[in-house]
């Protein structure tokens, strides 16, 4: 995947509020998939789809420890996105809700 495609994948993953909430949760520590799913009112299968999108974007990694699948934040994956956004630093802070609407309009549905 070239750099532009990787950036598209990261922004598409960040375009969903559930996935952003998951990333915020993983800022604290690695979490088991079931713990990630706990605060959300959706099925474990739905959470797994979100986790797979985050994983494909390189924003998280997942590993099995015994019977439990763990999720870990991969902060370096956001570096290129952050650098790209810093290019707009002379403007107001990015409104993530407006950015989400923009992504939904510009990118195909990945969920």
Give the tens place of pLDDT for each residue, 23-65: 999 999 999 999 999 999 999 999 999 999 999 999 999 999 9
How long, in residues, is the chain?
111
Determine the Cα–Cα distance for residues 16 and 36; give it in Å rounded to an integer.
Answer: 16
Alpha helices in 1-111 (DSSP H): 3-14, 17-28, 33-37, 44-56, 79-86, 96-106
The residue ranking higher by pLDDT, 95 or 30, is 30
What number of CA atoms fall less than 13 Å from residue 77's CA on the CB side? 20
Q: Is the predicted pLDDT of residue 89 greater than 70, yes or no?
A: no
What does the DSSP 8-state code read for residue 72? E
Determine the Cα–Cα distance for residues 56 and 77; give it in Å rounded to an integer.
Answer: 11
Q: How confident is the model at residue 4 (pLDDT cuts 50, 70, 90)?
A: confident
Percent of the chain with pLDDT over 90: 59
Considering the entire predicted model, what is its pTM? 0.75
């Amino acid at each position: 995947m070239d750099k532009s495609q990787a950036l598209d994948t990261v922004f598409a993953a960040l375009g969903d509020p559930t996935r952003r909430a998951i990333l915020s949760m993983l800022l604290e520590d690695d979490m088991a998939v079931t713990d990630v799913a706990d605060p959300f009112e959706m099925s474990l299968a739905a959470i797994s789809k979100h986790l797979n999108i985050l994983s494909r974007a390189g924003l998280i990694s997942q590993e099995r420890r015994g019977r439990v699948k763990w999720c870990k934040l991969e902060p370096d994956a956001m570096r290129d996105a952050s650098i790209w956004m810093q290019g707009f630093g002379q403007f107001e802070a990015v409104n993530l809700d407006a950015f989400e609407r923009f992504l939904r309009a510009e990118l195909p549905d990945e969920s």
